Amino acid sequence: MATAVKQEKKVANASSDNRAAVPSGGSGFFHPHKPGEGYATRLGCFVLGMLFIWFAAHHWYYSWTVVIGQVNAWGVLDFALRDPVRDWVEIGGTLTMVLGGILVFYHLVYCQPRTSDFLVKTDGELAKVTWPSVTPWFKPEAKVWGASYVVLAVLVILTVYIFVVDLLLNLAAQWAFYGQ
């Protein structure tokens, strides 16, 4: 009996070892994990990451002097505020942020096994969803229009409700704090 239990444990361990040895497609910083899978989800995450990087680079280009001014307690970084160096720091910092951001987001979205597996599985789950048909889109009896009307009506009702509550609270605060 004991040998049968040991045999079952060995079989279970062997099968779990086989599942762990799934080929990943290679290794390296630029080699994608499971290439060709999860295309739409990975691309969407990468585009969102690029929007974040664009925002950060834009913010750096136009307001890096504020950061230097707050960090520069003893005047050590005054050289960075002179004209030739200032241009290099603006442009160089922006380009470094953009190129570094592209590399980091590419690695996170396409090459990192953990995030790649998550995005591939997400894409697989989204493929299972039964999306409502919108053809022909102009007929009001289509399922999409019924759901859209409900969403739009609730949106309008909530917007008006929040506006009225905000207006009343604003008037109450004006009266309580300023006597007007």
Q: What tokens were used for 25? A: 């497609």
Q: What is the pLDDT of residue 14?
A: 47
Q: What is the pLDDT of residue 38?
A: 81
Q: What is the pLDDT of residue 169?
A: 96
Task: Report d(CA 85, CA 156) in Å as an integer.
Answer: 53
Half-sphere exposure of 31 (CA within 13 A, CB side): 5
How many angstroms from the chain centroid is the CA of residue 33? 19
Residue type, 80: A
Question: What single string gives the DSSP state of each residue in 107-141?
Answer: IIIII-HHHHHHHHHHHHHHHHS-PPP-SSTT-TT
Q: What is the pTM of this model?
A: 0.54
Show pLDDT as tens, one digit a residue, over the chain (180 residues).
555 545 555 544 544 444 444 444 456 677 888 888 888 888 899 999 999 999 998 888 888 766 666 666 666 566 666 677 777 778 888 899 999 999 999 998 888 889 889 988 988 898 898 876 666 655 666 666 677 788 899 999 999 999 999 999 999 999 888 876
